[in-house]
Amino acid sequence: MRDVPGVLFETELLIVRPWTDDDAEHVFAIYRDPEVWRYLGGGKALEDLEGARAMLRRWIAESEEAAPCGAWAVIDRATATPIGTVMLWPLEEGPEIEVGYHFARSSWGKGYATEAAPGTITHGFRVLVLDQLVAVVFPENPASQRVLQKAGMIYRGMRQTFGFDLMYYTIDRPTDLQHAGMSA
């Protein structure tokens, strides 16, 4: 898997790379499940492969336009299969940048989000000239709250975001990355 083009970052179990048009069947497999959409704040499960292709084309275009921010495929090293998405994206049009993730239900409880979140945070601080990243999560989603806490994010209180009352988390740039000469 080391020769995967466009790799953004790797962890022990995962490879993160841009989504491609060839990923439509995997996107459909992940996002046709209403449980995956449960805490995504709107939207509904995909109904067909064409809907997956349209969503994937939109993600690819928006990620290219918003680079170095984006939404990217999370690949399981063991199977070389896309199992979810991680993102760095402007929270409600910015200026804050949100760390986000969602995974296929078959990948829940296996530590993928716990591994992907800090990888995404580190990647974000390396490619974005920011002092802080943020995340929001539904109060009814304790699993995601634990992921954010394990990633070093600090709960700052409730916040009205995307029309929902969400838990708001932040993480500051580590001092070892403060003056590393990074640029966007």
Count of structural domains, the chain: 1
Q: Which residues fall within 8 angstroms of residue 112, CB to CB, at 6 or more apart? A: 13, 14, 74, 76, 83, 84, 103
Q: What is the CATH number of the domain that holds 97?
A: 3.40.630.30
Task: With respect to residue 4, please indicate whether it lies within any of the assigned structural domains.
Answer: no
* pLDDT for residue 34: 93
DSSP state of 174: P
User: Is the residue at 33 inside a domain?
Assistant: yes
Q: Does 182 map to a domain? A: no
User: Residue 73's CB: how many other CB atoms inside 10 A?
Assistant: 26
Tell me what pLDDT residue 122 has: 94
* pLDDT for 181: 40
* Domain annotation covers residue 183: no
Instruction: Summarize pLDDT for 62-92 with one digit per residue, the tens.
Output: 999 999 999 999 999 999 999 999 999 999 9
Task: Identify the CA nearest to 21 among candidates 60, 69, 75.
Answer: 60
Per-residue confidence (pLDDT) for residue 8, from 0 to 100? 94
Task: Provide the token pair at 93.
Answer: 């049009």
In a domain, 184, yes or no: no
For residue 3, tell me if it sits in a domain.
no
Domain that includes residue 99, residue range: 9-177
Q: Is position 150 within any domain?
A: yes
Lookup: tokens for 26: 């995997």
Give me the pLDDT at residue 42, please: 74
Give the chain's residues under pLDDT 70: 1-5, 176-184
